[in-house]
Chain A
Amino acid sequence: MSSQIQQDDLIIAGRRFHSRLFLGTGKFSSGSALKEAIHTSSTEVVTVALRRVDLDSKEDDILTQIDRKSILLLPNTSGARNAEEAIRLARLSRELGGGDWVKLEVTPDPVYLLPDPIETLKAAEILVKEGFHVLPYINADPILCKHLEEAGCATVMPLGSPIGTNQGIKTLANLEIIIEQSKVPVVVDAGLGLPSHAAQAMELGADAVLVNTAIAIAKDPAQVAYAFKLATEAGRISYLHSVTSARPSKKASASSPLTGFLEEETRNVHGAV
C-alpha cells in the first residue's frame, strides 16, 4: 500500500487540509476569544463575513487573529439576498486581496436565514466561470447538490438544521443521499450545536463540518472548540473504520442456504474451454 492511499487529508480545489473542522467567525465575544478557538480547534479553514470585515485594513480585529499562511481565510457572502449581491461581494473580496475562495451564501429570508437554491445556483455558475473556488451553503437537497457540482463548485455545504438553532442533524435522510452521491467534498454546515452533532455528521461520511454559534457563544469557546475538534476526528475515525453496526449481524440460515447451489459441483467454465 502506498502512503498516498493511507493518508486521510481533505482535498478541496487542489488544496490539502489536515483538519476537517471549519470555523465560522460571527458571534465571538472578542478577537482574542476567536484566536484561542482557532488555536484549540486546529482548524485550517475560517470563514469570515465579507460584510463584516475590512479587507483593506490591517487593523481589522478578525483578520489580525488569522494566520493566513497556515489557515485559509474563506470569505462568505452572508447578507446577500440574491445572486447579484453575492457576486458583487465575491468580486469585491477578490479585488481587495481576499483571494479566489468564496463561501457562497444567499439568504433572502432574514428570520431563518435559509438559503435560496435558485439564486445560489445562478451565482455559483457565474462565479465558477470567473475562476472562483465556490463553496455553496445550501439546504440539504441532493438534486441541487448535483447541479452545483456540475456548475463546478469545489464543495457542497448542506445544512444540518437551520442556522444558529443548535438542533443538530435534522436533515439526516437527505444528507445520507448527498454524501453517497457527491463527487465533491460535503461539508455539513449550520445547526451543529454539540460536539456529538459534529461526530454524527462525520460518522455519516461527511468530509468536514462547519461550526460557529456553538463555539462562539459557549462559556469557554476555546474548550468547546477543542471538544469539536475531538468529536470531528472521532467521527471521522468511526466512519473510516465502520463502527456503525446498528444491529447485530444475522446468522446464516442453515435450513435453506442461499449459496448452497455452489456446493453442488465445482465448475470451472474456463478450464474446459
Chain B
Amino acid sequence: MYTELFDLVSFSEARERVLYKTSRDVRSALDRSHSGKHLSFDEYLSLISPSADPYLEEIAELTLEWTKRRFGNTILLYMPMYLSNECRSSCVYCGFSYENKIPRKTLKEEEIHAESKVLYEKGIRHVLILTGEEYSITNLEYLCSAVRILKSYFDSVSIEIYPMETEKYEVLIKEGVEGLVIYQETYDPETYSKYHLRGMKKNMRYRLEAPDRGGRAGFRRIGVGALLGLSDPYGEMFRLGEHAQYLTKEYWRTTIQISLPRMRPAEGEFDLTIPISDREYVRFLFALRLFLPDSGLVQSTRESIRMRNHLAGMPITHMSVESRTDPGGYSGGMELKQFEIEDSRKIPEFVEMLKKKGLDPVFKDFDRAFLEE
C-alpha cells in the first residue's frame, strides 16, 4: 500500500525537501533530461522547487520534446457526466457539500440515456461518470445499471466516484468500467481533517489507499491528483509525484494518469485558497512530464482558454471539453453545478484550436473488445 511510503516522510518534511533544492540541483536534473533519461524522484523535486523558475523556458523545451516523443501530436478528448450531486460528506470547498442547501438530483435511467445521446452525437467515445458521496443512492447496483447503459454508447467508461472496496471495483470492471479516477484533494493530513468535516470522506487513509484497491482490482487506467490551493503546493507536489511513481511501479499493467486541478469558485463560502500562480502551476506540470514521461496529464475545463490553448500537447495529453458539472446538464440544464468552469468552448471550436496547433484530437482510443470475455 502507498500508505507505507506515505508514513515515512511527514508533509512538512516533504515540503522542506523541495525547498532545499538549489539551482545546481536543477541544472543537473536538466542535464539528465537532456541526455534522454527520466528524472529520479529527487531530480523531480528540484524541478518543482522555486529554484527551477529561472529555467522555465528550457524546461518547456524539454517538456515539448518528451511529450512529442511519448504521445506524438495527439490529444485524447473526453467528457464528464455527473450522475448525481447527492452527497453525505461535507468538504468545505465543494459545491456538492452536504451543508449546501442546493437542489439535489440523481439521474434516472432514461436521463442517463438522454445525456449519453447528446455526448455520443458530439462524437465523444470516452466518458467519465461522477457522483457525490451518497452510498445509499448511488450504490453499486445503481452504478452497474448506469454502466450497462453507458456501454451501449461509449467505448470507454471511467468512474470518478467515492472510494470503494476492491471487490466492488472488481464488479464494476466486470460491468465494463475501464478507468478509475480518484483525487486525494490534499495529501496534507492536517488540512485534510480541517476541510473534510463529516461523512465517509473524512477518512483520509481510506481515500489514500483507494488507488491501491483499484490497482488490485485491475483497472486499466487509474488517475490520481491533488487539488492545488488547499495546502502547501510543494508538499502536495512531492506527494503526488511519489504516489504516481509508486502506482506506476506497483500496478505495472495499469496506465497511471495525473491531473492537477486548481481550486475554482463553488457554492459555499470557502475563501482559504492558497494562490498558485500560472507560472508555478506550469512548472509543476512540466516537472511531472519529465519525471513520468508516459503518464497521461489530464486537464479539465477549470483552466482558462489561454492556459489550455498553450498547454495542449505540452505537457497536457488528455482534455475534457464542453463540460457540464451538473447532473443532467447536457440534456436538461439544471444549474446544479459542482464548480465554475473557465473554458466553455464547444467541441468544434476546441478541435479547430487543436488542429491549428498541429494536434490531432482523438475521440476514441479504446475498444470494448478488450473487456469482453
Which residues of A are interface residues toward B (Cβ below 8 A)? 1-2, 5, 146, 176, 180-183, 205, 241-253, 257-259, 261-262, 264, 266-271, 273
The yes or no answer to B110 lying at the interface (CB within 8 A) is: no
What are the 5 tightest A-B residue pairs by CB atom distance, in nearest-first order? A242-B28, A245-B31, A246-B35, A258-B60, A252-B57
Tell me the smallest distance from the CB of A228 to a CB of chain B, in Å. Answer: 24
Q: For chain A, what secondary structure do more than half of its interface residues adopt (helix, strand, loop), or is it mixed?
A: loop
Query: Cα distance A262–B306 when bound, in Å?
Result: 9
Query: Cα distance A245–B7 when bound, in Å?
Result: 34
Q: What residues of A have a CB within 8 angstroms of the CB of B304 in the complex?
A: 267
Q: What residues of A have a CB within 8 angstroms of the CB of B282 in the complex?
A: 259, 262
Query: Cα distance A246–B117 when bound, in Å?
Result: 53
Q: What residues of B have a CB within 8 angstroms of the CB of A253 in the complex?
A: 57, 61
Specify the chain B residue showing the minimal Cβ separation from A177: B38
Q: Are A183 and B34 in contact (CB under 8 A)?
A: no
Query: Cα distance A243–B35 when bound, in Å?
Result: 11
Q: Are B35 and A247 in contact (CB under 8 A)?
A: yes
Query: Cα distance A262–B314 when bound, in Å?
Result: 14
Specify the chain A residue showing the minimal Cβ separation from B59: A259
A273 CB contact (under 8 Å) in B16, B56, B265: B265
Q: Are B249 and A181 in contact (CB under 8 A)?
A: yes
Q: Are A269 and B263 in contact (CB under 8 A)?
A: yes
A-B contact count (CB 8 A): 98
Q: What residues of B have a CB within 8 angstroms of the CB of A181 in the complex?
A: 248-249, 252
Q: What residues of A have a CB within 8 angstroms of the CB of B17 in the complex?
A: 1, 5
Q: What residues of B have a CB within 8 angstroms of the CB of A205 in the complex?
A: 40
Q: Are A270 and B262 in contact (CB under 8 A)?
A: yes
The yes or no answer to B142 lying at the interface (CB within 8 A) is: no
Tell me the smallest distance from the CB of A67 to a CB of chain B, in Å. Answer: 32
**Contact pattern, B 98-114, Cβ under 8 Å of A = 1, otherwise 0:** 00000000000000000
Q: Are B13 and A270 in contact (CB under 8 A)?
A: no
Given A259-B56, A273-B271, check contact A183 B249 (CB 8 Å). Answer: yes
Given A176-B37, A241-B28, A247-B35, check contact A266 B13 (CB 8 Å). Answer: no
Stretch of B73-81, B122-130, B272-280 contacting A (4+ beta carbons < 8 Å): B272-280
Q: What residues of B have a CB within 8 angstroms of the CB of A264 in the complex?
A: 306
Q: What residues of B have a CB within 8 angstroms of the CB of A180 in the complex?
A: 38
The yes or no answer to B86 lying at the interface (CB within 8 A) is: no
Q: What residues of B have a CB within 8 angstroms of the CB of A183 in the complex?
A: 249-250
Q: For chain B, what secondary structure do more than half of its interface residues adopt (helix, strand, loop), or is it mixed?
A: helix
Q: Are A271 and B275 in contact (CB under 8 A)?
A: yes
Query: Cα distance A180–B43 when bound, in Å?
Result: 14
The yes or no answer to B210 lying at the interface (CB within 8 A) is: no
Given A244-B35, A270-B276, check contact A259 B263 (CB 8 Å). Answer: no
The yes or no answer to B29 lying at the interface (CB within 8 A) is: yes
Tell me the smallest distance from the CB of A53 to a CB of chain B, in Å. Answer: 36
Q: Are A245 and B56 in contact (CB under 8 A)?
A: no
Query: Cα distance A2–B9 when bound, in Å?
Result: 10
Tell me the smallest distance from the CB of A66 to a CB of chain B, in Å. Answer: 33
**21 A-B pairs in the complex with CB atoms less than 8 angstroms apart:** A1-B20, A181-B249, A183-B249, A183-B250, A205-B40, A242-B28, A242-B31, A244-B31, A245-B31, A250-B34, A257-B60, A258-B61, A258-B64, A259-B56, A259-B60, A259-B282, A261-B307, A262-B282, A267-B304, A270-B274, A273-B263
Specify the chain A residue showing the minimal Cβ separation from B25: A242
Specify the chain B residue showing the minimal Cβ separation from A5: B17
**Contact pattern, B 220-255, Cβ under 8 Å of A = 1, otherwise 0:** 000000000100000000000000000011101000
Query: Cα distance A115–B209 when bound, in Å?
Result: 37
Given A247-B34, A249-B58, check contact A242 B252 (CB 8 Å). Answer: no
Interface centre among A246, A252, A258, A261 (most CB of B within 10 A): A258
Q: What residues of B have a CB within 8 angstroms of the CB of A245 in the complex?
A: 28, 31-32, 34-35
Query: Cα distance A241–B252 when bound, in Å?
Result: 28
Q: What residues of B have a CB within 8 angstroms of the CB of A1 in the complex?
A: 16-17, 20
Specify the chain A residue showing the minimal Cβ separation from B302: A269
Q: Are B61 and A244 in contact (CB under 8 A)?
A: no
Query: Cα distance A252–B64 when bound, in Å?
Result: 13
Q: Are B35 and A250 in contact (CB under 8 A)?
A: no
Q: Are A269 and B35 in contact (CB under 8 A)?
A: no
Q: What residues of B have a CB within 8 angstroms of the CB of A243 in the complex?
A: 28
Interface centre among A5, A146, A257, A262 (most CB of B within 10 A): A262
> What 15 new A-B contacts, CB under 8 Å, besides A1-B17, A249-B30, A269-B262?
A241-B28, A244-B37, A253-B61, A257-B60, A259-B56, A262-B56, A262-B278, A264-B306, A266-B278, A267-B277, A267-B304, A270-B273, A270-B274, A270-B275, A273-B265
Q: What residues of A have a CB within 8 angstroms of the CB of B40 in the complex?
A: 205
Query: Cα distance A267–B277 when bound, in Å?
Result: 7
Query: Cα distance A69–B262 when bound, in Å?
Result: 55
Query: Cα distance A244–B32 when bound, in Å?
Result: 6
Query: Cα distance A270–B28 when bound, in Å?
Result: 33
Tell me the smallest distance from the CB of B300 to a CB of chain A, in Å. Answer: 13
**Contact pattern, B 49-71, Cβ under 8 Å of A = 1, otherwise 0:** 00000001110110110000000
Specify the chain B residue showing the minimal Cβ separation from A271: B275
Q: What residues of B have a CB within 8 angstroms of the CB of A250 in the complex?
A: 34, 58, 61
Query: Cα distance A176–B40 when bound, in Å?
Result: 12
Query: Cα distance A242–B35 when bound, in Å?
Result: 10
Q: What residues of B have a CB within 8 angstroms of the CB of A267 in the complex?
A: 277-278, 304
Specify the chain B residue showing the minimal Cβ separation from A273: B265
Query: Cα distance A243–B61 when bound, in Å?
Result: 21
Specify the chain B residue showing the minimal Cβ separation from A145: B252
Q: Are A261 and B306 in contact (CB under 8 A)?
A: yes
Query: Cα distance A248–B58 when bound, in Å?
Result: 12
Query: Cα distance A271–B278 when bound, in Å?
Result: 12
**Contact pattern, B 344-366, Cβ under 8 Å of A = 1, otherwise 0:** 00000000000000000000000
Tell me the smallest distance from the CB of B295 to a CB of chain A, in Å. Answer: 13
